[in-house]
Structure 1
Amino acid sequence: MTATLQLGIIVGYLLVALSVGLVAYRLTERTAEDFYLASRTFGTVVLLFTVFATLLSAFTFFGGPDTAYAFGPEWILVMGLMDGIIFAVLWYVVGYKQWLLGQKHGYVTLGEMLGDRFGSTAVRVLVAGISLFWLFPYVMLQQIGAGGALASLTAGAFPFWAGATLITLFMILYVALAGMRGIAWTDTLQGAFMLTMVWAAVLWVLVAVDGGLATINAGLEASNPEFLALGGGFYTPATMLTFAVSIAFGVAMFPQVNQRFFAASSEAVLKRSFALWPVLVLLLFVPAFLLGTWATGLGLEADIGAGESILPVILAEYTPTWFAALVIAGAIAAMMSSSDSMLLSGSSYFTRDLYRPLSEDTITDQQEDRLGRIGVAVFALSALAASIWAEAAAFGGATVGSILVNIGDLAFGGFAQMALPVIVALYWRRTTRSGILAGVLVPQVLYIAFNFLPETTVGSLTLFSDAYLGWGISLYCMLVGLLVTVGVSALTVQTPEEETALYFEFAD
């Protein structure tokens, strides 16, 4: 009964979203700018919630609560407070400048904006290539989460590959039809729905537990007393700051988030949105991660099977079947709201930053629009094939949450490596083409090497570790990117093709 109800809710959501997509398709012009940015018409509510829902991913709903369950509630500080504030600042520092440039010059992608400033196809292709490289595993993350959740709901009757395939095929159809406008509409509905449901879940569990919060805290005191104290264990200051900075700076460079900086209808809309962002983040992350923490105090360890996430377990234990079904189905829909934006952005990076500058063919806006829709399908199916292979070959008995956190953390750090060179380029006139190329490329090579090469000891020196002195390698690589960008720019001269004044033609 539970599985049938949950599948019914998911199918119902798919049909509603598809209906929205059909309406959006009728209103969408057959141009690349409208398909990718909804002609830059977003108001405050839509812009805020489409960024919000784009980040409502498997990482949030399964990875986050599982981390809080395993290590304690300080994960709320990492994701809720630190990244709510840090990303809001970056929304202004990066997003506002991007919006000004997009309004004046019609930019659609980050690579397009940087390539124009430095008069360089190489810059454009490098930024797009790196973005697609790190976007690919994050799309996989959503497919792994959705496929695993559907398999869990049906006790294996609906296997992982079938669930991931179903969700992927729907997203291809929906994104190709709806474009940015339809995605933003469903994002707004989805974000409001999930805020309501996650707070309702917290209240329901509190009421259902005999003794409420006192009982939960007593359980935590008995089983994991460190959960009631701040810091310690996994949550060292260095670890928390590494996660918080990497995630926040990475989010600012995520194609599906970064492109939304171009989509605001006015300056007032953009500024209201980033001012409200920390509040919205806390409203979601606090209840979601509390549920993960409470599960430890309620002694649910024995109820968790291999590869299972904690959120469905605590909801199944303390809320009615229909309510748990609604929340979990909503979480799966949240994964889809992230994936559809990723597919659309991945398509735009491919068509505008790889195909157009590297192809000898001249294409019209209508042809680019059509190519973008085809790109959605190619990107999604490639990620699906990789997800099915990875799930079968590599993950074994690991929990869904741990898989998602590991993949998400790696992709966040990869995107974060681009943030400081981009900020330098936006605000320092002296930045050169050589500086931005080196500043973007060098930290990526280091980050990939330290994450994929085996740890090696040479004498007393350890090479290719993921942390030094407690600080994650992502932060060291970001610092290298900053130093390389500034250093190489200081040692080189700007070329005649560079538009030095392009980013400074207006008053900040």
Structure 2
Amino acid sequence: MSQVALQLGIVVAYLLLALGVGLLAYRLTDRTAEDFYLASRTLGTVVLLFTTFATLLSAFTFFGGPNIAYASGPEWILVMGVMDGILFAILWYVIGYKQWLVGKRHGYVTLPEMLGDRFGSRALRGLVAVVSLFWLFPYVMLQQMGAGTALAGLTGGWLPYWSGAALVTVFMIVYVVLAGMRGIAWTDTIQGAFMLLATWAAALWVLDAVGGAGAATAAVADSNPEFLSLGGGVYSPAWMLSQAVSIAFGVAMFPQVNQRFFAAGSKKVFKRTFALWPILVVLLFVPAFLLGTWAAGLGIEVPAGENVLPILLNEYAPGWFAALVIAGAMAAMMSSSDSMLLSGSSYFTRDLYRPFVSPDASDRREDLLGRVGVVVFATASFVASLYRPGGLVQIGSTAFGGFAQLALPVLVALYWSGTTRRGMLAGVGASQAFYLASVFLGAVPATYWGWDASILGMLIGLVLTIVVSAATTQTADERTAKFANLQSAE
């Protein structure tokens, strides 16, 4: 019991430290929507880089990645570490920089707000907001599931799954309501550095305990030789490319990531962050996923529904160190959850409540409603997480694919002045309908010639956006100039 108390004490101490940062940010935050959601568009290179890093590196990365490496081998590194590190860095600049220019000139806070204003369409604004909130819900739930299983595994089942999920839910509600974007960005910077150091320390500790990287890899070669051959098992080229494309394009449309495109302080910030991004990603993913691979060779037994990382650390590291690493994992989950709740709140208040319920609502009323929305959204996702609907990788992959359907219509809209309202509605609506059918209706295949349905859905959205736009004319309230001649905004 004393070891459990020590482990929980370390995790709780970390939570309280993060909460202290949030309280400081609360004292410095203006009671305006722009400051609450975007920190008044003032984020610098280090903070923007690490807040995006920590926001993305959630339970899907910290637990889902090692789990799939444990089950199928380390090539998941190529999907997440190399392909998505590079692909998302390119999208960060191609989509993010243009979006930053547009947002800076016109004061946009959310992607649906930007699209709705450009195309003069409440329907498009509402559609993008609803679609985003729909896919955001399971990803918030994924963080709560990750926290519950992590703490249960760390304490050997002494702390039940539901209590771990409840702990992180209560914390992130309090934190987001108080801190806003400024506090979240500050703690993300601390959390990002902490989880990076914790992961490398865990890898080095385990390797020292088993006799080095050579011994750990030799054990994998003896027990699972197929893990060391490129392209084996589940890792077909079509599957790997499907995952890489869906995740990279999906990440660019995640509300908590996409909104950070608006928050950058300058053009230089964008150039520096997108150049540094692939390096930072590889530095985290390589040790995390290799830990899952080595665990398979070392004969670690992982019960159904559990995560390999806490079990591996409990086997080869002292309790206090395992607790530190799990605190790093919790940092990843919380830095994702708090950002998701903040962005989800902004989509609800600015893109659903304002245009459809109360267009004349004051900034202070929107600010208050946004904080209430955080509580409702987090509580609902916690209740859903208690039913554990699928594994971490399955939930994460599904949500990535849903967000990816938005990316190509948005890209076309940003760079082609001939895009029309009908083209956007057709592209977004049809691709989402197809992908939803592939997920929830057994009659619609989930793969086509080895490629995931999300890829076909993205192509459907791209083709329809272009074809329908070319076949229709813009109406008087479609503001083409909103996305044109933006260099003066630099």
TM-score bracket, normalised by the shorter chain, equals: over 0.9
Alpha-carbon distance between aligned partners in 2 of 1:364 and 1:65, rounded to the nearest angstrom:
46
Please, which moves more after superposition, 214-223 or 127-136?
A: 214-223
Q: Is the contact made by 2:169 and 2:378 (CA closer than 8 Å) also made in structure 1? A: yes
| 1:434-453 equivalent positions in 2, closer than 5 A | 434-453=422-441
The alpha-carbon distance between structure 1 residues 155 and 314, as it changes in their structure 2 partners (threshold 3 A), is: closer
Determine the structure 2 residue equivalent to 1:102.
103
Alpha-carbon distance between aligned partners in 1 of 2:59 and 2:385, rounded to the nearest angstrom:
14
| 1:465-504 equivalent positions in 2, closer than 5 A | 465-504=445-484
| 1:6-21 equivalent positions in 2, closer than 5 A | 6-21=7-22
Give CA-to-partner distance per residue, 1:85-108, whole Å, 9 cap, x none. 000000011000010011111110
Determine the structure 2 residue equivalent to 1:137.
138
Letter of the aligned partner of 1:213 in structure 2?
A
Give CA-to-partner distance per residue, 1:157-203, whole Å, 9 cap, x none. 43222222222111111100000000001000000011111111111
Alpha-carbon distance between aligned partners in 1 of 2:207 and 2:34, rounded to the nearest angstrom:
47
Give CA-to-partner distance per residue, 1:321-363, whole Å, 9 cap, x none. 2111110122122111100000000000000000000014511
Alpha-carbon distance between aligned partners in 2 of 1:372 and 1:76, rounded to the nearest angstrom:
37
Letter of the aligned partner of 1:232 in structure 2?
G
Alpha-carbon distance between aligned partners in 1 of 2:312 and 2:344, rounded to the nearest angstrom:
35
Letter of the aligned partner of 1:247 in structure 2?
I
Letter of the aligned partner of 1:278 in structure 2?
P
Q: Is the contact made by 2:80 and 2:244 (CA closer than 8 Å) also made in structure 1? A: yes
Q: Is the contact made by 2:172 and 2:338 (CA closer than 8 Å) also made in structure 1? A: yes
The alpha-carbon distance between structure 1 residues 95 and 186, as it changes in their structure 2 partners (threshold 3 A), is: same
Q: Secondary structure at the match of 1:415?
A: helix
Letter of the aligned partner of 1:229 in structure 2?
S
Letter of the aligned partner of 2:64 in structure 1?
G
Determine the structure 2 residue equivalent to 1:351.
349
Q: Is the contact made by 1:421 and 1:485 (CA closer than 8 Å) also made in structure 2? A: yes
Determine the structure 1 residue equivalent to 2:241.
241
Letter of the aligned partner of 1:121 in structure 2?
R
Alpha-carbon distance between aligned partners in 2 of 1:70 and 1:161, rounded to the nearest angstrom:
25
Determine the structure 2 residue equivalent to 1:370.
368
- Runs of 4 or more above 6 Å deviation: none
Determine the structure 2 residue equivalent to 1:384.
382
Letter of the aligned partner of 1:225 in structure 2?
P
Q: Secondary structure at the match of 2:480?
A: coil
318, 336, 341: which one aligns with 1:320: 318
Once the two structures are TM-superposed, the CA of residue 109 in structure 1 deviates from its matched residue by: 0.1
Please, which moves more after superposition, 479-488 or 144-153?
A: 144-153
Determine the structure 1 residue equivalent to 2:280.
280
Once the two structures are TM-superposed, the CA of residue 215 in structure 1 deviates from its matched residue by: 1.8
In the alignment, structure 2 segments of 5+ residues that lack a partner are none
Please, which moves more after superposition, 213-222 or 85-94?
A: 213-222
Determine the structure 1 residue equivalent to 2:222.
222
| TM-score calculated relative to the size of structure 1 | 0.94
Determine the structure 2 residue equivalent to 1:68.
69
Alpha-carbon distance between aligned partners in 1 of 2:175 and 2:237, rounded to the nearest angstrom:
42
Determine the structure 2 residue equivalent to 1:82.
83
| 1:12-411 equivalent positions in 2, closer than 5 A | 12-210=13-211, 212-300=212-300, 303-360=301-358, 362-388=360-386, 390-391=387-388, 394=389, 403-411=391-399
Alpha-carbon distance between aligned partners in 1 of 2:408 and 2:272, rounded to the nearest angstrom:
24
The alpha-carbon distance between structure 1 residues 450 and 387, as it changes in their structure 2 partners (threshold 3 A), is: same
Letter of the aligned partner of 2:21 in structure 1?
V
Compute the RMSD of aligned alpha carbons.
1.2
Alpha-carbon distance between aligned partners in 2 of 1:227 and 1:148, rounded to the nearest angstrom:
26
Alpha-carbon distance between aligned partners in 2 of 1:353 and 1:189, rounded to the nearest angstrom:
31
Alpha-carbon distance between aligned partners in 1 of 2:107 and 2:466, rounded to the nearest angstrom:
28
The alpha-carbon distance between structure 1 residues 153 and 222, as it changes in their structure 2 partners (threshold 3 A), is: closer
Q: Is the contact made by 2:84 and 2:248 (CA closer than 8 Å) also made in structure 1? A: yes
Letter of the aligned partner of 2:298 in structure 1?
L
Please, which moves more after superposition, 418-427 or 291-300?
A: 291-300
Give CA-to-partner distance per residue, 1:397-450, whole Å, 9 cap, x none. xxxxxx000000000000000000000000011100000011101010000001
Letter of the aligned partner of 1:370 in structure 2?
L
Alpha-carbon distance between aligned partners in 2 of 1:450 and 1:306, rounded to the nearest angstrom:
26
Once the two structures are TM-superposed, the CA of residue 270 in structure 1 deviates from its matched residue by: 1.2
Determine the structure 1 residue equivalent to 2:410.
422
Letter of the aligned partner of 1:344 in structure 2?
L
Once the two structures are TM-superposed, the CA of residue 232 in structure 1 deviates from its matched residue by: 1.8
Once the two structures are TM-superposed, the CA of residue 153 in structure 1 deviates from its matched residue by: 3.0
Please, which moves more after superposition, 91-100 or 375-384?
A: 375-384
Q: Is the contact made by 1:112 and 1:352 (CA closer than 8 Å) also made in structure 2? A: yes
Q: Is the contact made by 2:101 and 2:487 (CA closer than 8 Å) also made in structure 1? A: no
Q: Is the contact made by 2:195 and 2:331 (CA closer than 8 Å) also made in structure 1? A: no
The alpha-carbon distance between structure 1 residues 361 and 502, as it changes in their structure 2 partners (threshold 3 A), is: closer
Alpha-carbon distance between aligned partners in 1 of 2:151 and 2:223, rounded to the nearest angstrom:
31
Q: Is the contact made by 1:6 and 1:328 (CA closer than 8 Å) also made in structure 2? A: no
Once the two structures are TM-superposed, the CA of residue 20 in structure 1 deviates from its matched residue by: 0.8
Once the two structures are TM-superposed, the CA of residue 307 in structure 1 deviates from its matched residue by: 2.1
Alpha-carbon distance between aligned partners in 2 of 1:372 and 1:273, rounded to the nearest angstrom:
29
Alpha-carbon distance between aligned partners in 2 of 1:228 and 1:40, rounded to the nearest angstrom:
46
Once the two structures are TM-superposed, the CA of residue 304 in structure 1 deviates from its matched residue by: 2.2
Q: Secondary structure at the match of 1:501?
A: helix
Give CA-to-partner distance per residue, 1:196-227, whole Å, 9 cap, x none. 111111112222113x2222222222211121
Paired residue total: 487
Letter of the aligned partner of 2:60 in structure 1?
F
In the alignment, structure 1 segments of 5+ residues that lack a partner are 396-402, 456-463
Q: Secondary structure at the match of 2:135?
A: helix
Q: Is the contact made by 1:450 and 1:473 (CA closer than 8 Å) also made in structure 2? A: yes
Q: Is the contact made by 1:53 and 1:191 (CA closer than 8 Å) also made in structure 2? A: yes
Determine the structure 1 residue equivalent to 2:4.
3
Letter of the aligned partner of 1:15 in structure 2?
L
Q: Once the two structures are aligned, what percentage of the paired residues are identical?
A: 69
